[in-house]
């Protein structure tokens, strides 16, 4: 039986969704016992593909971000350090590791820089495609690493893909709204844009003796950025109803008063009930309701990943939210996939809330909500930005004509994998597949296998094949050149991520590796043999306001 996908009510205008995934991301490992496991992204992708969501959106493998692109926000020295350090030479960088906070919560592992490049590349290209009207929603679950600073790793994050994506959006949009629903405060993004009104940051997070120790209610920005940083400190155990009662009024007010040109939503799933490092009590549907509400404003939307350390719940939630972005609600029964046994014992697509006590009293939530709404009202209205021509950079030419250099490759040389990936499969190329019967497609049977009544008695031609070859994958199509006049980009901002290549990465069955996945036994109980590490002890909350050195003009 095919997995169930129910169209969402009220979706008159179907959204164009670009989904970014790189199969290499599952090959990186922070180390034994570390709670951050990139394998969770592949687990999510396996659900996305086996539910059949590849029929509803375009799937891309983004071009990894380069060192030069990363230095639009990060310092040259820090990016160079990340590109050079490896487990085999880390003893030669003892001083630098201390300087850049690398080695404990943010360990050195094989392929560290490549991992950062994949994460940043997806967010930057997603932003680029949104800005050029190539899609309405861009999804990069490998992104959302919101703790990284200009010259410092923090909270499992090395390169801040969110800041890099926002900088690209600012080249075309006068104002960008950043929303963070991770259990931890989005300190790296807030710090980067703390002194500007071009970006409003809004974070809902646990506060008080909790990493990173920032995000107090009184932290509202300074200078031109005053009242453009919003922080909603939460207590343990908040429920879906309580979360919705403050999230929707705050975001609605922000949309009315700030009127952003684009929205970036960080969907960290460590705010779900039962997370190894979290302490909130949201269900999967409560978490996803935030995505659905933000999507309803019909603004260009960049959906990013983030925290999340109970991986079977992370993959469930992000797959469900991918479906919402594509305009469908996924059925509760999880389809067969390479990680199927990890979703037992119920094998359902759901994360339920627990009976954890909610320490967020209605009076507390109401008081904090009113204070934040007052800050929003004080901005008066959308800040104006001087308009000028958008400076063209190399990525613009590539995005306008992704195949412009294909003819320069000698005919007797092998085509690069990026070109092979980008070739679009024509609609109807495979007649017998798992989307049989959709869009007027018919079953085709051999005339030799028809009985006297004209009905097929034997096996069909091209019996059903796996997702590896049956999914329709849409690549890069022709597009209209971007407008020549828009919001002035921040001073000093240069090119962003290059184009990606379309690919429908398969997630067919494979033997289970020895990857460290939730240490779950066959009866569904989590083993206590290895204890997950927690993030570093939070520093004492500071009352002083700090911001990135040059938040809107790249490295100095």
Residues 140, 136: Cα–Cα separation, whole Å: 14
d(CA 286, CA 281): 9
**Sole residue written with tokens 């020549």:** 484
Identify the pLDDT of residue 381: 87
Per annotation, catalytic residue among 147, 205, 375, 474: 147
3-state secondary structure of 387: strand
Q: What is the CATH number of the domain that holds 335?
A: 3.40.800.20
**Considering its fold, how many domains does the chain have in total?**
1
Task: Say what the pLDDT of residue 30 is.
Answer: 97
Whole-number Å distance between alpha carbons of 229 and 219: 7
- DSSP per residue, 225-281: GTT-EEEEEE-TT--HHHHHHHHHHHHHHHHHHH--SEEEEE--GGGBTT-SS----
225/193 Cα distance (integer angstroms): 8
Query: Do 294 and 263 touch, CB atoms closer than 8 A?
Result: yes
Region of 538 (left: φ > 0; alpha: ψ -120 to 50; beta: rest) is: beta
Residue 379 DSSP symbol: T
Q: How far apart are CA 67 and CA 54, in angstroms?
A: 31
The verdict on residue 245 lying in a domain is: yes
Which residues contact residue 272 at a Cβ distance below 8 angstroms, ignoring those fewer than 6 apart?
A: 278, 280, 282, 283, 284, 287, 308, 310, 313, 314, 317, 351
Q: Domain for residue 397, yes or no?
A: no
Asked, for residue 452, whether it belongs to a domain, the answer is: no
Q: Find out whether 398 and 496 touch, Cβ atoms under 8 Å.
A: no
Does residue 538 sit within a domain? no
Q: What is the rounded distance in angstroms from the CA atom of residue 266 to the CA atom of residue 270?
A: 11
Q: In which element (H, E) is residue 390 found? A: none
Task: Quote the tokens at residue 217.
Answer: 């209610």
Instruction: With beta carbons less than 8 A apart as the criterion, state whether 85 and 96 touch.
Output: yes
> Is residue 549 in some structural domain?
no
Task: Identify whether 447 is a catalytic site residue.
Answer: no
Between CA 409 and CA 315 the distance in angstroms is 40
Q: Are strands 387-389 and 328-330 parallel, antiparallel or unpaired?
A: unpaired
For 137, the enclosing helix (H) or strand (E) is strand 137-140
Task: Please give the residue range of the domain that contains residue 321.
Answer: 14-26+39-59+123-379
Q: Both tokens of residue 410?
A: 């000698």
Indicate the burial class of 319 (C-beta count within 10 angstroms; 0-12, 13-18, 19 or more): buried
Residue 473 lies in a domain: no
Q: What is the pLDDT of residue 266?
A: 98
Asked if residues 249 and 373 have their Cβ atoms less than 8 Å apart, the reply is yes
Quick check: pTM over 0.85? no
Residue 237 lies in a domain: yes
What pLDDT score does 380 carry? 85
Contact 281, 358 (CB under 8 A): yes
pLDDT in tens, the chain (556 residues): 678 899 998 776 789 999 999 999 999 999 999 999 999 999 999 999 999 999 999 999 999 999 999 999 999 999 999 999 999 999 999 999 999 999 989 999 999 999 999 999 999 999 999 999 999 999 999 999 999 999 999 999 999 999 999 999 999 999 999 999 999 999 999 999 999 999 999 999 999 999 999 999 999 999 999 999 999 999 999 999 999 999 999 999 999 999 999 999 999 999 999 999 999 999 999 999 999 999 999 999 999 999 999 999 999 999 999 999 999 999 999 999 999 999 999 999 999 999 999 999 999 999 999 999 999 999 988 887 766 666 666 566 666 666 666 666 677 776 666 566 655 544 444 444 455 555 555 555 444 444 444 444 433 333 332 212 223 333 333 334 444 444 544 544 434 444 444 444 444 444 444 444 444 444 444 444 444 444 544 544 444 444 444 344 343 3
pLDDT at 404: 61
Helix and strand totals (H; E) in the chain: 14, 13
Question: How far is the C-alpha of 227 from the C-alpha of 201, rounded, in Å?
Answer: 10
Q: Does residue 346 lie within any of the structural domains? A: yes
């Amino acid at each position: 039986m095919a997995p169930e996908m129910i169209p969402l009510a009220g979706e008159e205008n179907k959204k164009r969704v670009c989904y970014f995934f790189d199969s290499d991301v599952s090959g990186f490992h922070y180390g034994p016992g570390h709670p951050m496991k990139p394998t969770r992204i592949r687990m999510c992708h396996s659900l996305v593909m086996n539910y059949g969501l590849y029929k509803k959106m375009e799937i891309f493998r983004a071009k990894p971000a380069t060192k030069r692109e990363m230095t639009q926000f990060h310092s040259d020295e820090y990016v160079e350090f990340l590109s050079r350090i490896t487990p085999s030479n880390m003893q030669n960088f003892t001083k630098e590791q201390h300087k850049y906070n690398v080695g404990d919560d943010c360990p050195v592992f094989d392929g560290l820089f490549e991992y950062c490049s994949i994460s940043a590349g997806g967010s930057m290209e997603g932003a680029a495609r949104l800005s050029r009207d190539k899609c309405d929603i861009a999804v990069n679950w490998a992104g959302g690493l919101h703790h990284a600073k200009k010259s410092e790793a923090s909270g499992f994050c090395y390169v801040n893909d969110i800041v890099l994506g926002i900088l690209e959006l600012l080249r075309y949009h006068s104002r960008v709204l950043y929303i963070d629903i991770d259990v931890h405060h989005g300190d790296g993004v807030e710090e980067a844009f703390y002194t500007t009104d071009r970006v409003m940051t809004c974070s809902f997070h646990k506060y008080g003796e909790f990493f990173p120790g920032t995000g107090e209610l009184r932290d509202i920005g300074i200078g031109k950025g005053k009242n453009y940083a919003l922080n909603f400190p939460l207590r343990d155990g908040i429920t879906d109803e309580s979360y919705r009662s403050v999230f929707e009024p705050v975001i609605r007010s922000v949309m009315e008063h700030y009127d952003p040109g684009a929205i970036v939503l960080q969907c960290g799933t460590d705010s779900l009930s039962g997370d190894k490092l979290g302490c909130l009590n949201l269900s999967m549907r409560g978490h996803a309701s935030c995505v659905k509400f933000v999507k309803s404003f019909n603004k260009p939307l960049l959906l990013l990943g983030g925290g999340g350390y109970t991986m079977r719940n992370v993959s469930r939630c992000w797959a469900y939210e991918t479906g919402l972005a594509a305009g469908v609600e996924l059925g509760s029964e999880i389809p067969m996939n390479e990680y199927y046994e990890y979703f037992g014992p119920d094998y359902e697509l759901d994360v339920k809330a627990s009976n954890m006590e909610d320490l967020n009293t209605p009076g507390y939530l109401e008081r904090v909500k009113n204070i934040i709404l007052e800050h929003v009202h004080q901005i008066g209205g959308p800040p104006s930005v001087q308009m000028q021509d958008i400076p063209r950079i190399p990525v613009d030419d590539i995005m306008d004509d992704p195949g412009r250099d294909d003819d320069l490759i000698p005919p007797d040389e092998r085509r690069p994998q990026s070109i092979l990936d980008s070739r679009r499969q024509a609609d109807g190329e495979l007649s017998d597949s798992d989307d049989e019967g959709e869009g007027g497609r018919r079953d085709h049977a051999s005339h030799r296998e028809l009985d006297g009544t004209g009905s097929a008695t034997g096996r069909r031609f091209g019996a059903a094949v796996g997702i590896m070859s049956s999914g329709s994958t849409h690549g890069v199509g022709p597009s209209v050149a971007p407008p020549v006049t828009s919001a002035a980009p921040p001073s000093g901002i240069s090119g962003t991520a290059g184009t990606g290549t379309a690919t429908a990465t398969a997630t067919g069955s494979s033997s289970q590796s020895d990857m460290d996945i939730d240490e779950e036994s066959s009866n569904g109980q989590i083993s206590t043999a290895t204890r997950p590490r927690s993030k570093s002890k939070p520093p004492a909350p500071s009352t002083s306001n700090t911001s990135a050195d040059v938040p809107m003009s790249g490295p100095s």
